[in-house]
Structure 1
């Protein structure tokens, strides 16, 4: 099942703005509510639909992630991605996003389908916790980030992670031609054009 537009708007829990209703948007809204009301995240430290930039063949590619959580200084602390399937199959894509996020890398990344979740250390991909309890409070996230620091990427590693993020992100909707799936509408695209890169971007894994 794909993330398909339902043809109307709903109010975003964090921003109060109107956002497109899709088959999965209610779940994303519930995740934001859980982080604020049950895990204690200040709403102002969570950003929905947060863009992650990758560079493919000298072109900017954007992958929007569902939620980004920030520390008190405004640095990315954790990315949270919704996965419509086995959460472990989305680990590599999510790690690439966390490594590429602006002012990052973000030291933590979580993947959840709303029933299960996995929390990963961005530095080495280590699974820190699994289950919905793995979605941390800001205090727990800060502790884990300190225990699993991550270094900035060099240019070679940034290129590799960009290609991995691109390859995984495009697979979200390529199987349905991109016509019905909302992934592209959520920001998975090249800046200024809908065209593909000349050699397809590659997958330097």
Structure 2
């Protein structure tokens, strides 16, 4: 997905700061509002555009993740990626992001185009629910995370997940999702 600036600014729902208006930012803002106002996520437990930094063959890259949701102890429990296409096409990339996130792996990952969604168990990679109704409310998410055992990746697992993530992020779908992405142009 390639994100393009529209030349204006808008107010970020989560932080209240002025941010660049882009082709996808209104969708992200609607998703943030949905999480808070309809699903009960506390503003302070959601961070937007969290940078996932990784290294491939000695080169550093970063990919901003649309949202990361944290539990009350400050541990990441859910990664959310916005996609502009068939949600199922982005599930593997989203699982990798959930496994590679600092402080993770997280228990769950969600990929959505704001019309459809897949909620994924990050440890198994299995889709456990589909549709926007798959988005759990915050208290249910916290309860669900108590039932999931997450294990840190071994170095070998991390290397494999990083390569898969990089393939999806940089080559299968074009450059990542913003001008701040550090992937080199094709």
Instruction: Give the TM bin, normalised by the shorter chain.
Output: over 0.9
For structure 1, the residue ranges without an aligned partner over 5 or more in a row are 197-205
Cα offsets for 1:137-168 (capped at 9, x unmatched): 12111222222322100101111111111111
Describe the shift of the 1:34–1:172 C-alpha distance in structure 2 as closer, same or farther (beyond 3 A): farther
1:199 corresponds in structure 2 to none
SS in 1 for 2:111: strand
Whole-Å separation in 2 of the counterparts to 1:44 and 1:15: 9
2:104 corresponds in structure 1 to 104
| Contact 1:61/1:189 (<8 A) preserved | yes
Cα offsets for 1:19-55 (capped at 9, x unmatched): 1111111000000000000100100000011111222
| Displacement after TM superposition at 1:131 (Å) | 0.8
2:177 corresponds in structure 1 to 183
SS in 1 for 2:69: strand
| Contact 2:3/2:178 (<8 A) preserved | no
- Farther off after superposition, 90-99 or 49-58: 49-58
SS in 1 for 2:84: coil
Whole-Å separation in 2 of the counterparts to 1:170 and 1:195: 9
1:84 corresponds in structure 2 to 84
* TM superposition outliers: structure 1 runs of 4+ over 6 Å: none
Describe the shift of the 1:71–1:94 C-alpha distance in structure 2 as closer, same or farther (beyond 3 A): same
Q: Which TM-score applies when normalising by structure 2?
A: 0.93
Q: Is 1:31–2:25 an aligned residue pair?
A: no
Describe the shift of the 1:53–1:18 C-alpha distance in structure 2 as closer, same or farther (beyond 3 A): same
Q: Which TM-score applies when normalising by structure 1?
A: 0.84
| Displacement after TM superposition at 1:103 (Å) | 0.7
1:139 corresponds in structure 2 to 139
| Contact 1:119/1:127 (<8 A) preserved | yes
1:18 corresponds in structure 2 to 18
| Displacement after TM superposition at 1:11 (Å) | 0.8
| Contact 2:70/2:77 (<8 A) preserved | yes
1:169 corresponds in structure 2 to 169
For structure 2, the residue ranges without an aligned partner over 5 or more in a row are none
Count of aligned pairs: 186
Describe the shift of the 1:164–1:188 C-alpha distance in structure 2 as closer, same or farther (beyond 3 A): farther
Whole-Å separation in 1 of the counterparts to 2:34 and 2:62: 26
| Contact 2:2/2:178 (<8 A) preserved | no
Cα offsets for 1:106-143 (capped at 9, x unmatched): 11000111111110000011111111011111211122
Whole-Å separation in 1 of the counterparts to 2:68 and 2:5: 23
